[in-house]
Chain A
Amino acid sequence: MPPLAYLDHNATSPLRPAALDAMVRVLRAGGNPSSVHRWGRTARASVDAARRQVAALVGAWPAEIVFTSGGTEANNVVLKGAGRPRVLVSAIEHDSVLRAVGSAETTIPVGRNGIVDLAALERLLATSSEPSLVSVMLANNETGVIQPVAEVVRLARTAGALVHCDAVQAAGKMPVDLHGLGVDYMSLSAHKLGGPMGVGALVIRSGAPFSGDRRGGGQESNRRAGTENVAGIAGFGVAAAEAGLSTGGLRDRLEAALLAIAPDARIHGAGAPRLCNTICISMPRVRAETQVMALDLAGVGVSAGAACSSGKVQRSAVLSAMGVDPGEAEAAIRISLGWNSTQQDIERLIAAWQELYIRVTHSDYSQARAA
């Protein structure tokens, strides 16, 4: 059996070998970055180096980076920590954004192509004079659709609102520039770009208001208490320095092959600018769970939407927000490529997908004949 084909990088991307090397070095060196002795200073130097690398990835200053335990923590603390009573979030945000604001949120709709509705945002901003925070992700985790964040910022600025951008899926897969976009806050996750799990960052533009909710030892310039995950942070730094996907060619070939096999399949967000690694596709009449199980048996790992919804298979809220009809949404799987994806991986997926499609259409045909 050829090696397994892991095509679920938007759930988590395997650790890059260079990141692992850096981590093992740091794990062996030990030391608490707050300690004054040389173990402490060595650990501090690792954290500082990674801070520069992560800052460079998103066009920020090192002092604007606050390391967290991941994207979820970053999203949670910023929505509370920005101190704005009114929070406007797009309908396709990650659960960690949607649930963090709870009932206080106002939802910005998205169009059928998966792009946030800017006219609606403008109207929503005009309906209230309460100080607001707008949270729009840079690229969606399920469809890969890239959002017009610079436009969002322009509208928000006019209304005096602050802007948070969840760039967890975008960073490393497209150029990201904090100051170019003009956002006030940005969330990042290491394990989505080949760094380790358990580490992420909240980028806080210099001058943007922020008060963290975790009390303690005053680490991260009093913005996030707790002993730093030094090895994780070092791994994040190296992964950030190496990030920069160019899987567009592979993705396009894969998409063309899938559509050639199943002309009635549909790619969600196809008309919009998308990340170069993501395909969200519905195979007509075949439930997503059936597809992922069949693909898993064939040694191909993909997912039926986001990984985090803890087991329960629900219809995708993202596709619902795009107005995809329920039957089609239930037949959607997400294929996401990454830094170690190969032609062989996509061939394996194509073969398995074709076999399933033929089996299903054949049984449809038999059923039709029997009826």
Chain B
Amino acid sequence: MNAITQVRRNDQPIYLDYQATTPLDPRVLEAMMPYFTHKFGNAHSRSHSFGWEAEEGVEKARAQIARLIGADEKEVVFTSGATESNNLAIKGVAEFYKDRRNHIVTTVTEHKCVLDTCRHLEQEGFAVTYLPVQQNGLVDLDRLREAVTDKTVIVSIMAVNNEIGVIQPLAEIGKICREKGAFFHTDAAQAVGKIPLDVEAMNIDLMSISGHKIYGPKGIGALYVRRRPRVRLAAMIHGGGQERGFRSGTLPTPLCVGIGEACEIAMKEMEVEAKRLTKLHDRLLKGLQSKLTDIVINGDLDHRIPGNLNISFAYVEGESLMMGIKNLAVSSGSACTSASLEPSYVLRALGVEEEMAHTSLRIGLGRFTTDHEVDTAVDELVRHVNKLREMSPLWEMAQEGIDIKSIEWAAH
């Protein structure tokens, strides 16, 4: 276990893509290891101690997750990840209550798996309202209030956006949903362990959680399902009846233990970590702002997790910039769609012009990011942005005071 304490090798480039996935915390790996080796039993085997030992690990993890979000452990269902949790929450609730209510409310900036699930339900006959967001990325509560009716079965609004890191007003949304009798589901994959969450205070009925976004393993997630007042859902995966029938399949003990430990660490360290990340975030932002003009921060700066900065560099071609900063692992949007050249639908929903959306970068900071890494990132970015701008005729014109938008381009 000697190398376990070191996450980054010195010769590696700098990882600044913490919203795509986070490195596994070495302490999490350590907690998982016994369940890979001698505590290998099937948690559902009731007839021998191998099974009981595994079950103990799983149940401890369930409690660790519950504590972090102010829930009861009986309200936590293990899944294979946040995508499955989101699918199960929205389809499961919609399916179960479809005879009474057939309307769903969500926002245009949700993760793709929420939007795709909603589109699928539209084909099945549900009505879906896709709320726009304000220019800062936050949902307009008045519009939400208008959109939720007595036909609305579920409102699905993410806690923290994966591209721009903005935090939605969860307590206010929860209050509106409760008043209207609609269930409130939040995709909290990017929020858990980063900001305090309390399912009671925020009136959250269902919450999706991901392991690998909180320094835990991939292939595991959880869905919080409220018991009082009870939320019911139609299961998507049937079989042995594990997870009280909500989700069949052998529980992957080491992965359950891993996400549990990740929650426990987050619970202990969230406050201190957030302060540290806020400083890093300021250092990054001030570094860039002091050395570059014509940069725009996408999404609200105040209601935002400190580990995210989404920034557009005017007069720079996004792809060239990405190619230039080889030493930095950042992304141009969400990882799922990062291979496509389409500009981000999240940024477009904020009203960001296509040109600016194309030059945006998502920079994710996290538990293992250092001052030195941030400084290096600032230097690299400044160097490459300046270099690309020097080659840009648009930049030259802008410097001469010409309004680019006023130019009438000749067709070739």
Q: Give the B-binding residues of A (Cβ under 8 A).
A: 4, 6, 8, 11-12, 14-15, 20, 23-24, 27-28, 30-32, 34-40, 68-73, 75-76, 94-97, 99-100, 102, 189, 191, 196-199, 213-219, 225-232, 289, 292-293, 295-296, 300-304, 306-311, 313
Contacts and interface: CB of A to CB of B under 8 A. Distances in A.
Given A215-B116, A215-B120, 18 more contacts: A8-B50, A12-B42, A28-B3, A32-B212, A40-B338, A72-B240, A76-B248, A198-B252, A215-B117, A215-B119, A216-B87, A216-B112, A216-B113, A218-B112, A229-B217, A232-B218, A307-B45, A308-B250
A232 B219 contact: yes
B51 A307 contact: yes
Contact of A20 (B37, B242, B335): B37
A35 B119 CA distance: 25
A30 B48 contact: no
B219 A199 contact: yes
Nearest to B325: A37
Contacts of B242: 308, 310
B176 to A, nearest CB: 26
Across the A-B interface, the 3 shortest Cβ-Cβ residue pairs: A229-B219, A198-B252, A308-B240
Contacts of A214: 83-84, 87, 113, 236
A217 B237 CA distance: 19
A12 B41 contact: yes
5 contacts: A12-B250, A20-B37, A28-B3, A99-B248, A225-B116
A97 B83 CA distance: 23
B21 A32 contact: yes
Contacts of A198: 80, 219-220, 251-252, 254-255
Contact of A196 (B17, B111, B252): B252
B15 interface: yes
A23 B36 contact: yes
A238 B412 CA distance: 56
Given A69-B219, A227-B81, A296-B47, A196 B254 contact: yes
A34 B47 contact: no
Interface string B1-20: 00110010000010101001
Nearest to B331: A35
Given A37-B17, A226-B113, A232-B252, A95 B241 contact: yes
B40 interface: yes
B44 interface: yes
Interface in B248-288: 248-255
Nearest to B48: A301
Given A32-B335, A213-B236, A310-B241, A229 B50 contact: no
Contact of A36 (B3, B22, B80, B339): B339
Given A229-B80, A231-B217, A96 B248 contact: yes
Nearest to A67: B219
Nearest to B332: A36
A89 to B, nearest CB: 13
Interface of B: 3-4, 7, 13, 15, 17, 20-24, 29, 36-37, 40-42, 44-51, 79-84, 86-87, 111-113, 116-117, 119-120, 210, 212, 217-220, 236-242, 248-255, 322, 329-331, 334-339
A197 B240 contact: no
Contact of B15 (A30, A191, A199, A230): A30
A306 B80 contact: no
Nearest to A305: B47
Contacts of B22: 30
Contacts of B79: 69
Contacts of A229: 80-81, 217-220, 255
Contacts of A69: 79-81, 84, 219, 249, 252
A96 B249 contact: yes
Nearest to A295: B48
A97 B240 CA distance: 10
A15 B83 contact: no
A24 B258 CA distance: 13
B49 A301 contact: yes
Nearest to B116: A215
A39 B17 contact: yes
A34 to B, nearest CB: 4
Contact of A100 (B3, B51, B239): B239
Contacts of B23: 30
B37 A15 contact: yes
A88 to B, nearest CB: 17
Nearest to B328: A37
B250 A197 contact: yes
B318 to A, nearest CB: 12
